Amino acid sequence: MNGVTKLGAMALLAATTIQLALADEMPSRKPGLWQVVMDRPGKNMPQHEIKSCIDANTDAEMFKMGMATAQGMCSRLESHRDGDVFTTGAVCKMNETQMTTHSVSHFTGDTAYHTDINTRFDPPMMGKAESVMTQDAKWMGPCPSDMQPGDIVMGNGMKMNLKSMAAEK
């Protein structure tokens, strides 16, 4: 993984952690298979796609994992919901770098959402002072028979289960 890809992964981790930590205020997502496409606009980089199988229990467990991570990393977590628009902000620390993240998610019912994520790094991380990323997510239908709630399939085909990862910790 090159430095730019690592930076994007760290920005995604920060934004996802913040959203998970504040998930109790987010509009609910329909249980089943979700496709999330992540893009770094203007960076001439390939999009990254993940698929995840969720149910209400998985979302609750993801919330707990997000809270535990955020409490250890973040000095400030803020959120605001106005109808189908969910806005978050946070100041978190990863090693010696302070990350200030702002994200705005626009939900289309419980079957789709678009998120814009802006993260600033101080001092710069891997030579980058900021990261801009979008996420477009949509419900694809019921989970396929080879997936269970908590399963995530990365774009490269690697499959992991969040529930078993949480149990290992």
Q: What is the per-residue pLDDT across 41-53, written as a single tens digit (0 to 9) for each?
A: 776 677 889 999 9
Return d(Cα 62, Cα 151) in angstroms, integer: 12
- Per-residue pLDDT, 1: 44
Q: Domain total for the chain?
A: 1
38 lies in which domain range? 3-168
- Per-residue pLDDT, 120: 95
pLDDT at 135 exceeding the cut of 70: yes
Closest CA to 23 of 103, 130, 140, 121: 103
DSSP-assigned beta bridge partners for residue 38: 48, 135
- pLDDT-above-90 percentage for the chain: 45
pLDDT band at residue 159 under the 50/70/90 scheme: very high
- Per-residue pLDDT, 57: 83
- Per-residue pLDDT, 4: 43
Q: How many other CB atoms are there within 10 angstroms of residue 165's CB atom?
A: 12
Range 90-109 average pLDDT: 91
Return d(Cα 23, Cα 64) in angstroms, integer: 9
Low-confidence winner among 62-76, 115-129, 152-166 (lowest mean pLDDT):
62-76
pLDDT at 74 exceeding the cut of 50: yes
- Per-residue pLDDT, 167: 67
Number of H helices, E strands in the chain: 3, 9
pLDDT at 63 exceeding the cut of 80: no
Q: Among 63-67, 68-72, 85-89, 113-117, which range has the highest average pLDDT? A: 113-117
- Per-residue pLDDT, 58: 82
List the structure tokens of 132: 């801009």
By the 8 A CB rule, do 126 and 9 touch? Answer: no
What are the Cα distances from residue 79, in Å, to 66, 86, 138, 157? 14, 7, 22, 33
What confidence tens digit (pLDDT) does each residue in 1-38 have? 444 444 444 455 555 555 554 555 677 789 999 999 99
